[in-house]
A and B are shown apart, each in its own frame.
Chain A
Amino acid sequence: MSIFFAILVITAKNPVHSILYLILTFFTFTIHYILLNAQFLAIVNFIVYMGAILVLFLYTLMLINLNKEAEPVKSNLVKIAATIGGICFLATIMGSLRALNPSNPVVLQDPNLGLVKNLGKVLFNEFLLPFEVSSILLLSAMVGAVLLATKESKPAA
């Protein structure tokens, strides 16, 4: 399953199809959440990522129809250097992982850990302040996005 994943994401490098591949990747992430019994996160991932964010990407891509201009290609040297850098990063993590002992399997101790009821209790008791702060963050982001997107057209109109 992991290999399937990685191949899928690598193919997401190609053209404007990459957004569609990204949707598939997020879908497999959702499946992973369900397998981890984190149902609330699975639903949120499904709605927020695959619904909102990907539609936002597609919409922007439609707004900026970049089909006519081919993407400027970086020189091969930079590309190879970047790939080698990424692989070195991966090798570092894998090496440090191998230095550890083999880990225990992920066993679900509490079967209703990821359910909406339990998460809601935690969210609104211990994490009430961060929750409110994140709501303020979302509000300010919304206002900022609207401001940025309409700034140019206002003097013209």
Chain B
Amino acid sequence: MQNLTQTIQAIPLNHYILLSAIIFSIGVIGVLVRRNAIVIFMSVELMLNAVNLLLTAFSVYRGDAAGQVFVFFIMALAAAEVAIGLAIIVMIYRNTNSIDINVLNRLKW
């Protein structure tokens, strides 16, 4: 068991950066490709999670607890953001009967 833990924790830092970058770009692609507002929100969540994972990896790498505290704050912020965003989506749906993002293009300018 100790050996397994040692092996797992010998992952290079680069792999964590790479994983987070991949997941972040998947989130970006999701935001750009989809038009469903809920799926766009989920992609934003994905990006936030990638950043969280990277912060934790750096925190463990440096032996500094401040990074993990920061991740905790990001999680609180994400919860608040999702609550507000979903409330807005529900309101938009009530007004326009669709959650297509393109309905909102009259918000331009």
Which residues of A come within 8 Å of B, CB atoms? 2, 5-6, 9-10, 12-13, 18-19, 22, 25-26, 29, 32-33, 35-38, 40-41, 44-45, 48-49, 52-53, 56-57, 60-61, 63-64, 66, 69, 71-72, 74, 78-79, 82-83, 85-87, 89-90, 93-94, 97, 100, 102-110, 113-114, 118-119, 122-123, 126-127, 130-131, 134, 137-138, 140-142, 144-146, 148-149, 151-152
Chain B 26-50 per-residue mask, 1 if CB under 8 angstroms from chain A, else 0: 1011101111101101100110010
8 closest A-B pairs (Cβ-Cβ)? A82-B32, A141-B80, A86-B29, A148-B87, A109-B63, A103-B13, A90-B25, A93-B21
For chain B, which range describes its interface: under 10, 10 to 19, 20 to 34, or 35 or more residues? 35 or more
A119 to B64, CA, bound (A): 10
When C-beta atoms are compared, the residue in chain B nearest to A34 turns out to be B8
When C-beta atoms are compared, the residue in chain B nearest to A14 turns out to be B39
Inter-subunit contact B90/A122 (CB<8 Å): no
